[in-house]
Amino acid sequence: MAESGSWGRAQAPARWSQALPSHELPAAIATHNRPLSRGKLRELCRDPAVDLLTAYFYIMARHGQRRDHGRDAWRHRDRIQRALTRLREENLSQGAAFNVFAADDPIKGLAVAFFAKLIFFFRKPAAGYFILDQWTGNSMNLLSEYKVVSLDPSWTVSRRTTAATYDKYCELMVHLAKGLCVPPDQAELLLHSEGGRPPKPWRRHVLQERRSQPKRSRRG
């Protein structure tokens, strides 16, 4: 699978950060002119010599976070930096890592799909921590006997998602990888699949299944 195709909205950090006040940005951002591969980005995020917020920008840019959400989240950069320090330095379980962000006072602009990416890239080297977004969440629900991941009417991962749900999702990803005889990180990439025109077969299947389901009320 071509890794670069998995993230069609990937941008260079220097470009993505243009929506933010330049005087508030890490000085090094202006020199980061291209997205990193998934593997290289993981190395960068876990390197104690690399500035936490510079690495954070790489993740948001590579995964195409909306600029307005990026501006909202950046106003809470002190909280983000403290959270990333914990992910990089502490031996946190899946649930504990999730709860670093899923607090009573969530960070505006940093939804589950994006803080799960921070967990994946920043967490101290250990197996079993995965990105949970609309594509992997929908995919896991299709493959499971019950709806593992709660989705909003827009089919994004619900803000009501709990640490227990993330624990279960990670457990099922490891189980799926064993059944497919692939490394767990590869199983996650297979569930994410690729979009574009036309989308890859699994992504197309997920989209077809979504369209076939009754529209849900935003109140429900």
pLDDT at 73: 94
Percentages of the chain per state (helix, strand, coil), in multiples of 5: 55, 0, 40
Q: Is residue 205 part of a domain?
A: yes
Q: Is residue 65 part of a domain?
A: yes
pLDDT classification of 218: cutoffs 50, 70, 90: very low
pLDDT at 214: 66
Q: Is residue 183 part of a domain?
A: yes
CA distance 196 to 151: 22
Q: Is residue 220 part of a domain?
A: no
How large is the C-alpha radius of gyration of the chain? 17
Buried b (16+ CB within 10 A) or exposed e, 66-75: eeeebeebbe
pLDDT at 20: 85
Taking only the tens place, the pLDDT of each residue in 54-92 is 999 999 999 989 989 999 999 999 999 999 999 999 999
Domain count, the chain: 1
User: Which one, of 187, 157, 182, lies nearest residue 172 by Cα?
Assistant: 187
Q: Is residue 170 part of a domain?
A: yes
Q: Residue 135 is encoded by which pair of tokens?
A: 């594509």
The whole-model pTM stands at 0.89
Q: Is residue 151 part of a domain?
A: yes
For residues 101-112, give the mean pLDDT.
87
> Domain span at residue 29?
3-212
Taking only the tens place, the pLDDT of each residue in 126-182 is 678 999 999 999 999 999 988 999 999 888 999 999 999 999 999 999 999 999 999
Percent of the chain, pLDDT > 90? 62
User: Which one, of 208, 216, 195, lies nearest residue 64 by Cα?
Assistant: 195
Q: Is residue 217 part of a domain?
A: no
Angle of CA points 135, 73, 122, to nearest 5°: 60
- Classified as helix, coil or strand, 162 is coil
CA distance 18 to 37: 21
Q: Is residue 219 part of a domain?
A: no
- Determine the length of the chain: 220
Mean pLDDT in the chain?
87
Provide long-range contacts, Cβ within 8 A and 24+ apart, for 164-169: 164/95, 166/94, 166/95, 166/98, 166/116, 166/132, 167/93, 167/94, 167/95, 167/98, 169/130, 169/132, 169/137, 169/140
Taking only the tens place, the pLDDT of each residue in 170-201 is 999 999 999 999 999 999 999 999 877 788 99
User: Are 6 and 64 in contact, with CB atoms under 8 Å apart?
Assistant: no
